[in-house]
Amino acid sequence: MLKESQIYLCIFFLLAFGILYEFSLEPGCFFSCKPVAKQLVMPQDVLSKGRSIIFLETTDHLQPPPLVLCSVESAARIYSDRAIFFFMQGLNNSTMTDFKLTSPSLSFLSAMKNVFLFPLEMDILFQDTPLFRWYHQVNATQEKNWVYIISDAIRLAMVWKYGGTYMDTDVISIQPIPVTNFLAAQSSQFSSNGILGFQRHHWFLWDCMVDFVQHYNGAIWGHQGPHLITRMLKKLCNLTDFNNVEDQTCHNISFLHPQRFYPIPYTLWHKYYEVWDSKPDFNESYALHLWNFMNRKEKRNVTIGSNFLVENLFRTHCPTTYQSLIQAAQRSKQMSQNKTSPLW
Ligand SMILES: *[C@@H]1O[C@H](CO)[C@@H](O)[C@H](O)[C@H]1NC(C)=O
Ligand SMILES: *[C@@H]1O[C@H](CO)[C@@H](O)[C@H](O)[C@H]1NC(C)=O
Ligand SMILES: *[C@@H]1O[C@H](CO)[C@@H](O)[C@H](O)[C@H]1NC(C)=O
Ligand SMILES: *[C@@H]1O[C@H](CO)[C@@H](O)[C@H](O)[C@H]1NC(C)=O
Ligand SMILES: *[C@@H]1O[C@H](CO)[C@@H](O)[C@H](O)[C@H]1NC(C)=O
Ligand SMILES: *[C@@H]1O[C@H](CO)[C@@H](O)[C@H](O)[C@H]1NC(C)=O
Ligand SMILES: *[C@@H]1O[C@H](CO)[C@@H](O)[C@H](O)[C@H]1NC(C)=O
Ligand SMILES: *[C@@H]1O[C@H](CO)[C@@H](O)[C@H](O)[C@H]1NC(C)=O
């Protein structure tokens, strides 16, 4: 009698744990409901679902600075039902096996459920696009703007092939972008290419890639980047100046108002590294572009306790990155105390 009830009890617990386990699985399981090891997932398996958010690192660096980590983390939080891709030139099958060894800062990103880190395989990427021939003819070592040029090329091919949204790694996401096919106005009548989104195989991106190759001039900065997007858009539509905070549309492509991503224009980029009297809510913006390019000489950073706008953005939109900065600050404080305190 006692034995029987023990068996029933056992079965009950097994069932209960089974059910609990089912529910503890990701509710949205958008790419696969089976817990497949992420290392075994191939980019095309997930990318082909579209709607992904795509980030790039076209240098060999495997230790991304805090702003890059924040950019990816904030997107992963805002777009929790989509796959976030971070393609890195420095990754390959050997460096990818253990991020804890190769890059501790990447290991927290790769642990996020919807974040995928992949090597950049350009040969495969450019196949079946107008960029393939160009890529095999150009001599990268002779191009002084190569890091920018190749990045401009990759984002066009990537979004054309798979669909989704490309973002620069100095963009902090704060709310979801409500449209699929869009370009970001940096100012009236000027489009950036730092953030753009399209459904798969959209003709606009194909036309951009054709123009990229036809009018290629690596010596002019941005010629294949924002200037390309702007001239292609202007060929299609007569852009007008923006009124209030209203977006424009051109052949069903939304041309999003500068407030959406650039509420602080590049001339005022320092504002991100200042204390603000009142806390801005950026409620008309989907993401904030922090103009890292402008910061390349001064190399301003997020300093814990500064109360700068950027620190508050980190605290709110990428709390894990922020926590790791706090820990790093505490460690270096300890270290300097250990140095100054006598050993006896
Ligand atoms: C993988 O990448 C690392 C760092 O970028 C590099 O040192 C290594 O040689 C690469 N290994 C292979 C097999 O390509
Ligand atoms: C990396 O590994 C995958 C799967 O094992 C393989 O298909 C791919 O060709 C490898 N890439 C390189 C650059 O070795
Ligand atoms: C590319 O340019 C470099 C430097 O000018 C030269 O040494 C190299 O041979 C060129 N490579 C090709 C494939 O033409
Ligand atoms: C722009 O406006 C001009 C003058 O109104 C017109 O001739 C031209 O066709 C328009 N271009 C486009 C792309 O709509
Ligand atoms: C825009 O989209 C609508 C609805 O999807 C479609 O009916 C219309 O033809 C499209 N217009 C252009 C210019 O592509
Ligand atoms: C954003 O805030 C401003 C003022 O605080 C308000 O006028 C505006 O309607 C808000 N916009 C949105 C999209 O909520
Ligand atoms: C941030 O900048 C400050 C001032 O320029 C510098 O002292 C500090 O070492 C920097 N911190 C990091 C983590 O780079
Ligand atoms: C500094 O000293 C403390 C106490 O002696 C020790 O626990 C800590 O690990 C040291 N920190 C570093 C960074 O060396």
Q: What does the pLDDT read at residue 27?
A: 36
- Ligand 8: lining residues by beta carbon, under 6 Å: 331, 334-335, 338
Question: Has residue 336 been placed in a domain?
Answer: no
Question: Has residue 343 been placed in a domain?
Answer: no
Question: Has residue 287 been placed in a domain?
Answer: yes
- pTM of full prediction above 0.95: no
Q: What CATH number is associated with residue 151?
A: 3.90.550
Q: How far apart are CA 50 and CA 162, in angstroms?
A: 6
The parent domain of residue 295 ranges over 32-322
Give, for ligand 8, the residue of 330, 332, 333, 334 to mutate: max count of ligand atoms closer than 8 Å to Cβ: 334
Pocket lining: 137 vs ligand 3, CB cutoff 6 Å: no
Give, for ligand 7, the residue of 295, 301, 311 to mutate: max count of ligand atoms closer than 8 Å to Cβ: 301
Ligand nearest to the CA of 254: 5
Q: How far apart are CA 31 and CA 82, in angstroms?
A: 9
Question: Has residue 111 been placed in a domain?
Answer: yes
8-state DSSP, 233: H
Span 44-52, mean pLDDT?
A: 71
Question: Has residue 344 been placed in a domain?
Answer: no
Q: What does the pLDDT read at residue 299?
A: 86
pLDDT greater than 90 at residue 24? no
Total domains, the chain: 1
Question: Has residue 335 been placed in a domain?
Answer: no
pLDDT greater than 90 at residue 47? no
pLDDT greater than 70 at residue 194? yes
Q: Which residue's CA is minimally distant from atom 10 of ligand 2?
A: 93
Cite the beta strand spans of the chain per DSSP E. 52-57, 84-88, 115-119, 164-167, 171-173, 182-187, 190-198, 248-250, 253-256, 287-289
- 140-159 residue pLDDT tens: 999 999 999 999 999 999 99
More confident residue, 37 or 117: 117
The DSSP bridge pattern shows strands 164-167 and 115-119 to be unpaired
pLDDT greater than 50 at residue 277? yes
Nearest CA-CA partner of 171 in 90, 255, 286, 268 = 286
- 284-338 residue pLDDT tens: 999 999 998 888 888 888 999 999 999 999 999 999 999 999 998 998 888 888 7
More confident residue, 22 or 63: 63
Question: Has residue 9 been placed in a domain?
Answer: no
